[in-house]
Amino acid sequence: MDTSDPRQERPPPKRGPPWAIFNTLYMNFCCLGFVALAFAVKARDRKVSGDVEAAQHFSSKARCYNALATAGSVLLPLLLGALIVTGVIHLSKLAQESVGFFTYQFSGSDDEDQ
């Protein structure tokens, strides 16, 4: 009895396409989500055709692009938020200093001119 079934030797399918679809639809940073989706579909097609080595190659590329798309889509809004907060703090300090400067300039009395 031969117990080596070729279907049992294949690794289980990866969850690349849902992550790539999510990155394509909701977090499309520089089209990296679309590129990841293309590689995930190629990996799935290669896996169905039986070319496991090419499927693993495309799957690793899809995983890399998905990670880059997710990281970029999470980090860029955080960076933008931090820049806005620091800009508001800096502008509020400048506004306080300029109010003091203009109050000093225009509150002078006319007695000093005489």
For residues 26 and 91, the model is more confident at 91
Give the domain ranges of the chain: 18-44+57-108
User: pTM of the predicted model, to two decimals?
Assistant: 0.61
- When pLDDT is averaged across residues 30-55 and rounded to a whole number, the result is 90
The whole-number pLDDT of residue 89 equals 94
CA gap 85, 77 in Å, rounded? 12
- When pLDDT is averaged across residues 68-88 and rounded to a whole number, the result is 91
**φ and ψ at 3, to 5 degrees?**
-95, 0
Query: Which range is most confident: 19-23, 27-31, 67-71?
Result: 67-71
- When pLDDT is averaged across residues 95-112 and rounded to a whole number, the result is 66
DSSP assignments along 16-83, one per residue: HHHHHHHHHHT--STTHHHHHHHHHHHHHHHHHHT-HHHHHHHHHHHHHHHHHHHHHHHHHHHHHHHH
